Structure formats: C-alpha cells, structure tokens
C-alpha cells in the first residue's frame, strides 16, 4: 500500500467517524402536545377553511452544530382534523379532498436540512397525502427556548397545491393553494 492510499483511507475513516460522532451528539425531539400542525385554504384572499390535526406523531434528530445531519418525520391522523367550519367536515374528509376512509394518514419525511443562518432552516422532504408523494420545502425557524433548554421553539410553513395530491381542483369555491404551518415547540425525549 502506498502513502497516498494510506492517507486517503485515513481521511475517509476520519470523515465517517466525524459523521457518526455528529449523529451521536444529535438530540432526539418530539413535538409538544400544545404544538399546532395546521393548514388554511384561501379563496380570493380570504381564509375560508382552517384545520388543525389533533393527533400527530413526530420525531426529529437535530443538533444545531451539524444541521446537515438532521432529520424530521411527521405522521398526521387525518380523522383527528378539527375544522374552523365543522359543517364542512364531511366534504373535506370525503373522496374529493382528503379521502380519509381510504387514506387515514399523511406523512412528511425530511431528506435535507439547510442552515440559512439566524436559526432559519430550509427543510426539504416528501409529503405523502392520498397515497401521492410530492417534494415539499418547509421554511422553518428553530430557536432554543430562553426559559427551558429542553425546548426548541418552531415556526414552519409551506404552500402546496391541492390538485398535486389528487384532490379535486376548484371544488366548491375552495382555493387551490393550501398553507401548511407548524407552530409551537419541540421537546427533547
């Protein structure tokens, strides 16, 4: 074995060790029960429907020193949806929109955290809704909580098109764009 091969192998081993160490230092987080995972749909600039998922399974592996190694997952129980207009529940959970009978959950799985500075991150991942997976980017702020070091304050948002997930387009005056938001806190496990 020549000296170049030895140096190359040492560099590769060092990089792998650093990545393993960075992942070992990452903390495991879950969303607090008070965190809101919600959406709103607008039509002609007015919010016509707001919804909040009451049952969310979540996990995040995150170390702010090495955000590129972070990951986050959400599983949303579609039937736990609470609506600002309960009279629309049957329509929203029905076949033309969420189709909750056939697709009882929606999931988000991240595949890239990009640090943008000042506790701001772009979290790229895949949202699966109605059995259709589409790429989504969450514009996110993750700040250490001043009062409790076991908490991270979170504000996250994204905009998706309903029809990209097989939902009926232009349905009863309901807008095409859906604003998704996560507001609250992550807590260490």
Q: Within a domain: residue 61?
A: yes
Alpha-helical (H) ranges within the chain are 3-25, 89-93
Domain that holds residue 90: 26-188
Q: Within a domain: residue 172?
A: yes
Query: How many domains does the chain fold into?
Result: 1
Q: Within a domain: residue 2?
A: no
Q: Within a domain: residue 79?
A: yes
Beta bridge partners of 95: none
Q: Within a domain: residue 21?
A: no
Cα–Cα distance list, 69 to 12, 30, 38, 182 (Å): 17, 17, 26, 21
Cα–Cα distance list, 30 to 39, 73, 90, 189 (Å): 20, 10, 30, 7
Residue 144, pLDDT score: 94
Q: Within a domain: residue 20?
A: no
Q: Would the pLDDT of 11 be above 90?
A: no
Residue 157, pLDDT score: 98
The reported pTM is: 0.82
Residue range 147-154: mean pLDDT, rounded:
95
CATH at 129: 2.40.128.110
The span from the CA of 45 to the CA of 50, in Å, is: 14
Give 85-91 contacts, CB < 8 A, sequence gap 24+.
85/48, 85/49, 88/49, 91/172
The span from the CA of 114 to the CA of 107, in Å, is: 20
Q: Within a domain: residue 60?
A: yes
Q: Within a domain: residue 89?
A: yes
């Amino acid at each position: 074995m020549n000296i170049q091969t030895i140096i190359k192998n040492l560099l590769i081993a060092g990089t792998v060790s650093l990545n393993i160490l960075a992942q070992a230092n990452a903390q495991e987080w879950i969303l607090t029960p008070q965190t809101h995972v919600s959406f709103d749909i607008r039509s002609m600039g007015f919010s016509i429907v707001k919804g909040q998922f009451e049952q969310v399974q979540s996990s995040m592996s995150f170390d702010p020193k090495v955000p590129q190694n972070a990951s986050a997952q959400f599983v949303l129980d579609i039937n736990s949806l609470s609506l600002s207009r309960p009279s629309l529940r049957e329509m929203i959970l029905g076949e033309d929109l969420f189709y909750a009978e056939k697709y009882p959950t929606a999931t988000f799985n991240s595949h890239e955290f990009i640090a943008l500075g000042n506790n701001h991150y772009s979290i790229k991942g895949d949202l699966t809704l109605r059995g259709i997976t589409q790429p989504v980017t969450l514009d996110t702020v993750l700040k250490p909580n001043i009062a409790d070091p076991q908490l991270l304050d979170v504000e996250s948002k994204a905009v998706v098109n309903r029809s990209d997930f097989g939902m009926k387009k232009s349905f009863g005056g309901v807008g095409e764009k859906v604003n998704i938001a996560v507001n609250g806190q992550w807590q260490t496990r």
